[in-house]
């Protein structure tokens, strides 16, 4: 339906505005002027919203195409709710899901509500699985490591433990934060016999973690901007979208690309 027909056939009759009568009256004339303006505003906002969605979807498609020789995976937590795991096999473009990393622990004493269920079901799918710890900067790093260890039982074929650091401390310096992170990383490596991976944002890394003490670690970098790669030069995993959609999960999900093929990923897993 054309915009002019919409005004004439739907809106003006509803407002009791007679187009054939030139004597609208003050209210009628005002409405005659105001209504089209409001409709134009609504159409503009609607178009803007649809355009943003299209841009993000287009960006996801471009990343899948640009990294077609690489492998892709997702990460989840209880925010995605209950997952219909029998439907979780591939992305909507047909690309296979090669790894799934899930939140296991939060801070000193919390466990993700869906971790145990997710952990068991991903194992059944035969997809490489991993677990991450959401680090709280103002809580004791050793207690946080103990919390992760008490929850996660890694097995042969699992991805290395992941430290998720994206928050800043309120009660300590950045120097103290780094010391705490190293303590967590060391304890986890000693326990599982494999070096952990660090997850963080692109800007967070450059502002706070660009330090020689972290050079030996593999980085999983989040950057949702419309770029072809993160600023971090040595990223191993790039979380490039937080608005992904796949069958079996009813909420937005994070999409990740691994810097390499499935053989490169298998070299990283627990032996």
Express each pLDDT in 204-257 by its tens digit. Answer: 999 999 999 999 999 999 999 999 999 999 999 999 999 999 999 999 999 999
Measured CA to CA, the distance from residue 31 to residue 17 in angstroms comes to 8
Q: Is residue 62 part of a domain?
A: no
Q: What is the pLDDT of residue 266?
A: 97
* Containing structural domain, residue 24: 3-55
Active-site residue, from 111, 166, 189, 242: 166
Q: What is the pLDDT of residue 58?
A: 82
pTM score: 0.80
Residues of the chain with pLDDT > 70: what percent?
A: 79
* Residue 33 and residue 162 share a domain: no
**What CATH number is associated with residue 180?**
3.20.20.80
* Residue 139 and residue 37 share a domain: no
Q: Is residue 60 part of a domain?
A: no
Q: Is residue 199 part of a domain?
A: yes
User: Nearest 5°: phi and psi at 263?
Assistant: -65, -40
* Residue 84 and residue 32 share a domain: no
* Residue 89 and residue 39 share a domain: no
The contacts of residue 5 (CB under 8 Å, 6+ apart) are none
Residue 190's Cβ-count burial label (10 Å; 0-12, 13-18, 19+) is: exposed
Express each pLDDT in 179-197 by its tens digit. Answer: 999 999 999 999 999 999 9
Q: What is the pLDDT of residue 231?
A: 93
* Residue 223 and residue 161 share a domain: yes
- Judge whether residue 93 has pLDDT over 90: no
* Residue 109 and residue 48 share a domain: no
Q: Last residue of a domain, which of 11, 32, 55? A: 55
For this structure, is 166 an active site residue?
yes
The pLDDT-based confidence of 57 (bands split at 50, 70, 90) is low
- Judge whether residue 27 has pLDDT over 80: no
Closest CA to 99 of 261, 223, 245: 261
* Residue 127 and residue 45 share a domain: no
**How many separate domains does the chain show?**
2
Q: Is residue 111 part of a domain?
A: yes
State the average pLDDT for the chain.
86
pLDDT top residue among 2 and 103:
103
* Residue 212 and residue 123 share a domain: yes
* Residue 78 and residue 43 share a domain: no
Q: Is residue 65 part of a domain?
A: no
* Residue 143 and residue 80 share a domain: yes
Express each pLDDT in 161-177 by its tens digit. Answer: 999 999 999 999 999 99
Q: Is residue 61 part of a domain?
A: no
Closest CA to 222 of 243, 201, 242, 203: 201
Q: What is the pLDDT of residue 92?
A: 85
Express each pLDDT in 133-169 by its tens digit. Answer: 999 999 999 999 999 999 999 999 999 999 999 999 9
Q: Is residue 63 part of a domain?
A: no
Q: Is residue 116 part of a domain?
A: yes
């Amino acid at each position: 339906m054309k915009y002019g027909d919409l005004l004439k056939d739907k809106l003006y009759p509803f407002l009791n505005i007679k187009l054939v009568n030139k004597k609208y009256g003050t209210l009628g004339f005002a409405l005659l002027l105001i209504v089209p303006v409001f409709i134009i505003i609504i159409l503009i906002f609607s178009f803007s919203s649809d355009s943003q969605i299209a841009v993000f979807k287009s960006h996801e498609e471009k990343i899948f195409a640009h990294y077609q020789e690489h492998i892709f995976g997702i990460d989840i937590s209880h925010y995605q709710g209950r997952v219909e795991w029998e439907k979780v096999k591939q992305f909507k473009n047909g690309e296979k899901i090669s790894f799934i990393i899930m939140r296991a622990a939060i801070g000193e004493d919390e466990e993700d509500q869906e971790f145990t269920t997710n952990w068991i079901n991903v194992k059944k799918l035969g997809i490489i699985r991993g677990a991450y710890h959401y680090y709280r900067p103002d809580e004791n790093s050793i207690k946080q490591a103990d919390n992760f260890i008490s929850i996660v039982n890694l097995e042969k074929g699992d991805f290395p433990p992941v430290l998720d650091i994206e928050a800043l401390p309120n009660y300590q310096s950045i120097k103290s934060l780094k010391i705490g992170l190293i303590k967590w990383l060391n304890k986890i490596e000693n326990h599982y016999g494999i070096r952990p991976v660090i997850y963080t944002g692109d800007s967070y890394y450059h502002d706070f973690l660009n330090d020689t003490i972290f050079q030996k670690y593999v980085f999983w970098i989040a950057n949702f901007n419309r770029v072809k790669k993160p600023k971090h030069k040595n990223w191993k995993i790039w979380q490039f979208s937080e608005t992904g959609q796949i069958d079996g999960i009813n909420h937005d999900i994070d999409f990740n690309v691994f810097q390499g093929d499935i053989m490169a990923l298998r070299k990283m897993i627990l032996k």
